[in-house]
Amino acid sequence: MATPNQTPAQQAFVMKVIWGAFTFSQLIYLYVIYTLQKSGAPANPNSQLQLWGPAIFDGLISIVVFWKNLSAAGLTKLFDGVDPKLAAGKAFPLYIICWGLNESVSVMGFVTAFHGDKSPMTLAPYTVAGVILNLFMFPKIDKFLRGPSDSQGPVL
């Protein structure tokens, strides 16, 4: 994730930019389906494809990975007695896994809507769930990355 000369603030910033990209991409799926509906693309209202099961499964796996490793208690355990840059390097792939699973919730809705009625309302519940999961999993590692001599305030 990080190059050896990145500061902790830069590491945190990179995580937040990637979080933003994962979150924004979920909203793009809604726009694509909306555009397809408005363009008059043929719908398949008889489609029985429903991907709630896999979407719920992905969301639950994401919650478990996050809660176990990236919650306040998980981050405290991860950063305890370890070089902050090394700990951040261990946290980064876990964040990516969670955000990818959250985005897959929206992708399941996109596939359902694309295969079926091409309605944004079919996709909306999946997107809302994926975005809420991402908001819940915003990277909050700034306080762990700051050294004892760094007394700066909160960093976005």
Task: Identify whether the C-beta of residue 145 lies closer than 8 Å to the C-beta of residue 78.
Answer: no
Return d(Cα 105, Cα 26) in angstroms, integer.
Answer: 9
Question: What pLDDT does residue 4 have?
Answer: 59
pLDDT tier at 13, thresholds 50, 70, 90:
very high
- CA distances to 134, 140, 154 from 87, rounded to whole Å, are 21, 13, 19
pLDDT exceeds 80 at position 62: yes
**Looking at the predicted structure, is the pLDDT value of residue 60 above 80?**
yes
CB–CB of 12/139 below 8 Å? yes
Angle at 127 between CA 141 and CA 125, to 5 degrees: 130
pLDDT band at 147 (very low <50, low <70, confident <90, very high): low
Locate 145 and state its tokens: 């990355």
Residues of the chain with pLDDT > 90, as a percent, come to 61
Domain range annotation of the chain = 11-39+52-144
Mean pLDDT is lowest, of 36-50, 81-95, 98-112, for 36-50
What pLDDT score does 156 carry?
Answer: 46
- Here the tokens at position 110 are 């996109």
Q: Is the pLDDT confidence value at 2 over 90? A: no
pLDDT in tens, 133-145: 999 999 988 888 7
Cα–Cα distance list, 136 to 28, 123, 152 (Å): 20, 20, 24
Give the whole-angstrom CA distance, residue 130 versus residue 99.
9
Distance CA 116, CA 21 (A): 27
